[in-house]
Amino acid sequence: MTSQPLNQPLNLAVIIGSVREGRFGPVVARWFARQAELHGRFTVDVIDLADTPVPLELPAVPPALQPDLPRPAAMTDLTRRLAAADAIVVVTPDYNHSFPASLKSAIDWHYTEWRAKPIGFVGYSGASGGLLAIEQLRQVFNELQAHTVREYVSFPRYYLLFGQDGTLLEPEGPDAAAKVMLDQLDWWGSVLHDARRDRPYAAA
pLDDT tens, residue order, the chain (204 aa): 344 555 789 999 999 999 999 999 999 999 999 999 999 999 999 999 999 888 888 888 888 788 777 888 889 999 999 999 999 999 999 999 999 999 999 999 999 999 999 999 999 999 999 999 999 999 999 999 999 999 999 999 999 999 999 999 999 999 999 999 999 999 999 999 999 999 877 765
Q: Looking at domain 10-198, what is its CATH homologous superfamily? A: Flavodoxin domain (3.40.50.360)
Instruction: Say what the pTM is.
Output: 0.93
Residue 120 CB neighbour total at 10 angstroms: 27
Q: Give me the residue spans of the domains in the chain.
A: 10-198
Which pLDDT does position 203 carry in this prediction? 63
Which pLDDT does position 69 carry in this prediction? 78
Q: How far apart are CA 23 and CA 19, in angstroms?
A: 7
Residue 21 CB neighbour total at 10 angstroms: 6
Q: How far apart are CA 64 and CA 148, in angstroms?
A: 18
CB crowding 72-100: b at 16 or more within 10 Å, else e: eeebeebbebbeebbbbbbbbbbbeebbb
Q: How far apart are CA 67 and CA 140, in angstroms?
A: 17
